[in-house]
Amino acid sequence: MKNKQIIAVVDDDDDDLFLIQEAFKVCLNEEKVLIATSGMDLLSRLETVKTLPSFLLLDLNMPLMSGFEVLGKLRADPRYNLMPVLIFSTSNAQPDIDRAYELGANSYVKKPDSFNDYKSVVEDLCNFWLRVASTPSSRFYR
Amino acid sequence: MTGPLSILLIGSDTPDRQALADAFRSYGVPHRYLSAQEDVTLNAYFQKGLADALFVPTLIMLDRDTGKPAKILELLKQHPVLRRIPVIVYGSGNDPEQVRLAYRWGATCYMPRPENWQASMAHFCSYWKKRVALPTIKAEDSLSSTQNSNQHNRRRWA
């Protein structure tokens, strides 16, 4: 039996999480969205899922554990090091962008300013990562 | 809007590669083709003199079936600057083990070869051209860093 695909999102901002979830509702079919509000929350939730998320949307600016630290932990863990990680940040600073790629991010997408833009960005993101690319999400690790 | 997308296509010069190049042309994406038939080709490309480095890619598309992806990704991922460049591996089939292998090599993603490049590239370009912020890759950075690792790479690619 085929498992439902999962998309994971980590963001500490309630407003951003709301916009992301609403945007996903428009473009997802059967995929489930796993929401985490911090890096620690994500790592804890990943322990409970049976398949790797098809991709992870990762905010950078978070208290306690930054997005860069989360990315470093994921890339150092053999259970999660193949999972596509897409940085989703308000930062447009080139050093942040370069650092994200150096640490192994699969791409870097700037957060939009309006809900309409959220919808179109999330639609493009889903069209590429769920319909054009293939990901290692079928890997069972429990 | 993010920085410019410029794509280096690596593989053999097949009709399929030409169809991909045609699709990029129709979407206005700058691209260049590099043959992977000889092991030294890519290494030589990134070690050219600065005056020759007119095309610095911000994305690489690598044909798994003809592009020697494991070797090329190993070379790129060891380089302090070139390792930033996203590398999309594409190939025939969608076998889960082959998909995982591409990610293990360090690919940014694996893309099954579509039946119609033109149609598939619409989604590809909407994402990579409009949404993704790409790394800065300067020719001089690449060259200065390459000089430090020339000895190592010459041994590997000889």
**Rounded CA gap, B55 and B11, in Å?**
17
Q: What percent of chain A has pLDDT over 90?
A: 80
Q: What integer pLDDT is reported at residue A132 of this predicted model? A: 93
Q: Is the ipTM of this complex over 0.95?
A: no
Domain holding B136: CATH number?
Answer: 3.40.50.2300
In A, residues 79-98, which contact B (CB 8 Å cutoff)?
82, 84, 92, 94, 97-98
Q: What integer pLDDT is reported at residue B41 of this predicted model? A: 63
Domain-embedded: residue B115: yes
Task: State the smallest CA–CA distance between residue B150 and chain A in angstroms.
Answer: 20
CB distance A128 to B127 below 8 Å: yes
Does the beta-carbon distance from A107 to B86 stay under 8 Å? yes
The number of CA neighbours under 13 Å toward the Cβ of B25 is: 8
Q: What integer pLDDT is reported at residue B109 of this predicted model? A: 95
Q: What integer pLDDT is reported at residue B99 of this predicted model? A: 95
Q: How many domains does chain B have?
A: 1
Mean pLDDT score, A93-113: 96
Does the beta-carbon distance from A109 to B110 stay under 8 Å? no
CA distances from A19 to A12, A26, A53, B2, B145 (A): 13, 11, 20, 22, 42
DSSP string covering chain B: --SPP-EEEEE---HHHHHHHHHHHHTT--EEEEE-SSTHHHHHHHTS-GGG-----SEEEEETTTS-HHHHHHHHHHSTTGGGS-EEEEES---HHHHHHHHHHT-SEEEEPPS-HHHHHHHHHHHHTTTBPPPP--HHHHHHHHHHHHHHHHHHH-
Q: What integer pLDDT is reported at residue B139 of this predicted model? A: 67
Q: Give me the residue spans of the domains in chain A.
A: 6-132
Q: By the CB < 8 Å criterion, does A101 face chain B?
A: yes
Does the beta-carbon distance from B126 to A127 stay under 8 Å? yes
Does the beta-carbon distance from B126 to A128 stay under 8 Å? yes
**Rounded CA gap, A108 and A86, in Å?**
6
Task: State the smallest CA–CA distance between residue B39 and chain A in angstroms.
Answer: 25
Which ranges of chain A would DSSP assign to H, the alpha helix?
14-27, 39-46, 67-76, 94-102, 115-126
Which among B83, B86, B126 has the least Cβ separation from residue A124? B126
Domain-embedded: residue B2: no
In total, the C-beta contacts within 8 angstroms joining chain A to chain B are: 85
- CB count within 10 Å of CB B145 equals 16
Q: What percent of chain A has pLDDT over 70?
A: 94
Domain-embedded: residue B1: no
Mutation for testing the B interface, residue in A90, A101, A138 having most B CBs under 10 Å? A101
**SS3 state at A111:** coil
Task: State the smallest CA–CA distance between residue A65 and chain B in angstroms.
Answer: 23
Nearest to A111 by CA among A32, A17, A31, A41: A17
Encoded tokens for A74: 């994921």
**Rounded CA gap, B88 and B65, in Å?**
13
Mutation for testing the B interface, residue in A132, A137, A140 having most B CBs under 10 Å? A132
Please list, in sequence order, all residues whose beta carbon lies within 8 angstroms of the beta carbon of residue B50, skipping any fewer than 6 positions away.
B139, B140, B143
Encoded tokens for A19: 């916009």
Domain-embedded: residue B41: yes
Using the predicted structure, report yes or no on whether residue A139 has a pLDDT greater than 50: no
Using the predicted structure, report yes or no on whether residue A141 has a pLDDT greater than 80: no
pLDDT in tens, A30-82: 789 999 999 999 999 999 998 889 999 999 999 999 999 999 999 999 999 99
Instruction: Profile chain B (158 residues) by mean pLDDT over runs of 10 residues.
Output: 78 88 93 75 60 73 89 86 92 92 96 91 94 85 53 43
In B, residues 72-131, which contact A (CB 8 Å cutoff)?
83-86, 88, 94, 96, 99-100, 103-104, 108-112, 114, 120, 123-124, 126-128, 130-131
Between B52 and A83, the higher pLDDT residue? A83
Nearest to B37 by CA among B16, B19, B61, B63: B63
Q: Could you tell me the residue range of the domain that residue B11 belongs to?
A: 7-151
Instruction: For domain A6-132, give the CATH superfamily.
Output: Response regulator (3.40.50.2300)
Mean pLDDT score, A90-119: 95
Mean pLDDT score, A78-88: 96
**Rounded CA gap, A4 and A49, in Å?**
11
CB distance A96 to A65 below 8 Å: no
Domain-embedded: residue B158: no
Using the predicted structure, report yes or no on whether residue A107 has a pLDDT greater than 60: yes
The β-bridge partners of A9 are: A35, A57
